Structure 1
Amino acid sequence: MEKTITYFDDVGKANTEEVMKLSAERAAELGIKYVVLASTSGETALVAAEAFKGQDVKIIAITHQYGLKEPGKWEVDEDKLAKLNELGVVMTTQSHMFSGVERAIQKRIGGASRADVISDTLRAVFGKGFKVALECVMMAADSGHIPVSLDTEIIAIGGTRQGADVSVVVRPAHSFDFFGMQVREIIAMPRAKEEPK
């Protein structure tokens, strides 16, 4: 099989509409029924809902956990959430797969966790959006929103800072089976990477 990969010159929000268009085309070609994406406020999920309109695809939007920016608060815009509910988009939240309790231990006693090593490696080698897309797959799987089996393929979409700049075809896995996850295809990604801090 020969397929084209789209490479963007830069990371971030400017790539969102093209990522969604390419993802919708590939989902139709492969008969993919599930799309998982990162959407902090709901804005990226709305762009996805428009791009996939008319396709038999379930969109699962993953957002930050409660309290990430401010204790007890959720970053999702309530008006956007209402619109997404009308459109049948599932919006869910979970702790980040590569942090959670490990981050608390790191803050308290220092050092780096094995999950941090995986996260930082994905971010450095493939870019933040790539890492985010794979993290969202596990979050959707652990929430029960996508099927997980050896013959299931989904599309996962992630981004750097805001919007979407990565799309991949993935065989999903639960977080406890991280190494069972497989990236089957890269649909789009930026050539540039966000420089480490």
Structure 2
Amino acid sequence: MSRFNITDLPLEGVKKVERQLLGDERGFLSRIFCASELATCGWHGPVAQINHTFTAKKGTVRGLHFQHAPFSEMKLVSCLKGHIWDVVVDLRADSPTFLQWYGETLSSEDGSGLLIPEGFAHGFQTLCDDVELLYCHSAAYEPNAEAGINIFEPRLAINWPLPVSECSARDQAFPPLDVEYSGVARK
């Protein structure tokens, strides 16, 4: 029996993963990760790192982050508390959707998350206060491979649903994409 409903999204390889909540009068159980089930939709390798984030203020944007090869990573992002608008940007140079983005609302109420393949930048905006996310990563964080795209990159023209209330200095400092930007290489 599958514990996930998995839906293809418009950018190749990106999937919406909805966890099945098994519950009774005591509460519920929700499977966050299952290697064999997620392998059918592209997850490969182990979970190398798990991160938990808390964001206090509605309208905050985190992202758009990625790691360069050979440290590029798949991510399974799950919303544990609150609501977010999750954004992925296709940075795969050989992709027909190169530099296109997609946004999806994720919430703790419906147990939803995104499976994001290698070659994508990722970010989100909180739609309420006190939001918590859980990230499963296929590769460990490598500071020297870290990169990002400015959330207001004009070539992307992302329509954030709320005015941006907060964004880190690091995320604001990501430079604009060079006119000659050619994407990231796949592993």
What is the TM-score with the length of structure 2 in the denominator?
Answer: 0.27
Greater percentage in strand: 2
Greater percentage in helix: 1
